[in-house]
Structure 1
Amino acid sequence: MTPPSPLLSVDDLVVQYRRPGAPPTRAVAGVSLEVRAGEVVGLVGESGCGKSTLARAVCGLTAPKDGRITFDGTPVRPLKVRRRDPALTAIQMVFQDPYGSLNPRRRVGTQIADGIRAGAARGDKGEAATPEEYLTRVGLPESAAQRYPQEFSGGQRQRIAIARALAARPRLLVGDEPISALDASAQLQVATLMRSLAVESGAGLLFISHDLSVVRLIADRIAVMYLGRIVETGPTAQVWDSPRHPYTQALLAAIPQPDGAGLLPAELPGDVPDPSAPPSGCRFHPRCPRAFDGCDHEEPQLIAGGVACRLYAA
Structure 2
Amino acid sequence: MEDATTFFTVTLPYMVSTALALPLLFPSPVPLLTRQVPSSVTLTKRQVACLIIHAFLCTFTAANTSFNHFHFFDVFAPSAPPDWSNAAATDQDEDTTAVQKLVTVLHYFSRFTTDNLSSGDNTNRYDQQVITYSRHVLDTTLWTDGGMAGGGGWADTLPWTSVHVHANGAIEDDVGAVQVDFANKFAGGGVLGHGCVQEEIRFLVNPECLVACLLTEVLGDVELKFVVQWLAASAQHRPLHYYTFGNSDLATRLAQFVQTVTTSTLSVAQLRARLLDNNAPNCTLSLAEYMRQHRRHRPSVCAYITSTLLPHTRHSPSTVSQAAADVQSTD
Shorter-chain TM-score: which interval? Answer: under 0.3
Structure (1/2) with the larger strand percentage: 1
Structure (1/2) with the larger helix percentage: 2
Q: TM-score, normalization: structure 2?
A: 0.26
